[in-house]
Homo-oligomer: A and B are copies of this chain.
Amino acid sequence: MEFTRRDLFKKSAAITIGAAVSHWPPAAGDPLPSWNDGPAKTAILNFVQATTDRTNPKFVPEPERIATFDQDGTLWVEHPIYAQVVYCFSRVPAVVKARPELADVEPYKTVLSGRDEAIGKLSTPDLYKILAATLSGMSVEQFESNVKNWLANARDSRWKKRYTELIYQPMIEVLTYMRSSGYKTYIVTGGGQDFVRVYSEETYGIPPEQVVGTASGTTFGYDKDGQPFLTKDPKLLLNDDKAGKPEGIHLMIGRRPYAAFGNSIGDQQMLEYTKAGDGERLAMLVIHDDADREYAYGPAQGLPDTKVGTFTQALYDQAKSKGWTIASVKNDWKRVVS
């Protein structure tokens, strides 16, 4: 976790953000070279082949081919803490600089202390206070610039890589394969819609308009020269988690997905909603069970629930009984973090 104030407006930083989409093209012949042969890989291949073959009764016309992907824990690493939360902590000094009276007020005081143990114990309401304070009050362009600069400079604590490099190569291959098969790929994340949109195109090949996330409103206004601009405000419009995911999909896309990918209880309703549609549907649950190459978390691994990416035995049982596809990081993925 880093709290150093940086040169947040260094324009050139933006272009250094990873080019993950292009540097691992799938090998010819096998669109999923980072997947081990097994039921998960077979399920993806069979689903795409069936739904794109005009002679197959499971054929889906191209405009209806929508696939939705959770981000944290499904497309990139979510442990030990969501990247966006690290970003928000990193912005606290700037918030306090603009409003010095907050320096001695909780939860800002604890974040400024830099004491990881105390920060780890912040309550959820305190965390929301920090999110609201650091994700609102600026123009949408200023926010984008702040995030780009942070992404270019921040490194995770374990791999010492940029967060946009901590993406799962097997899932990048699924995104690329589905797009090349006429699927429109969407991120549907509990994370901030504006945050993820900053890097989604360069990192995943997913344009901002195909990112659905937790979203607050903006307020239209004019600057002193009469130029219109949008200010990010703290009012929550869409809590894109759990039941909010299918609700967000309806709001932002307006079609039920044919395929959905998730890894936690936050994705349960999206997977249920997807699987309940007519015809062939794919619902995939990624299981994090590889402590050596990444992390193992959730009761299926004999570990207690954690604050992020909550995975329960009930979700695992539901996946088994409802015919969802289970992808084990340990058994199904040849590579994990690129």
Contacts and interface: CB of A to CB of B under 8 A. Distances in A.
Nearest to A244: B220
A233 to B, nearest CB: 10
State the oligomeric state as a number of copies.
2
A217 B255 contact: no
Contacts of A254: 193-194, 197, 208-209, 211
A307 interface: no
A253 interface: yes
Contact of A269 (B211, B228, B273): B228
Interface string A210-244: 01000101111000000111100000011000011
Contacts of A229: 276
Interface in A118-137: none
Interface string A264-278: 000001001100100
A200 to B, nearest CB: 9
B273 A220 contact: yes
A233 B194 CA distance: 25
A26 interface: no
Given A63-B201, A227-B276, A273-B228, A219 B247 contact: yes
B253 A230 contact: no
A250 B219 contact: no
A243 B220 contact: yes
A250 B218 contact: yes
Interface in A194-209: 194, 197, 201, 207-209
A133 B81 CA distance: 44
A184 B246 CA distance: 25
Contact of A208 (B211, B243, B247, B253): B253
A251 interface: yes
A44 interface: no
Contacts of A253: 208-209
Nearest to A220: B243
Contacts of A66: 209
Contact of A250 (B230, B244, B247, B276): B230
A217 B236 CA distance: 13
A17 B163 CA distance: 48
Given A237-B238, A247-B230, A252 B220 contact: no
Contacts of A1: none
A203 to B, nearest CB: 14
A13 interface: no
Contacts of A237: 237-238, 251
The 9 closest A-B pairs by CB, nearest first: A208-B254, A220-B243, A209-B253, A228-B272, A197-B254, A228-B273, A218-B247, A220-B246, A218-B250
Given A140-B250, A237-B237, 5 more contacts: A209-B253, A211-B254, A220-B247, A220-B273, A228-B272
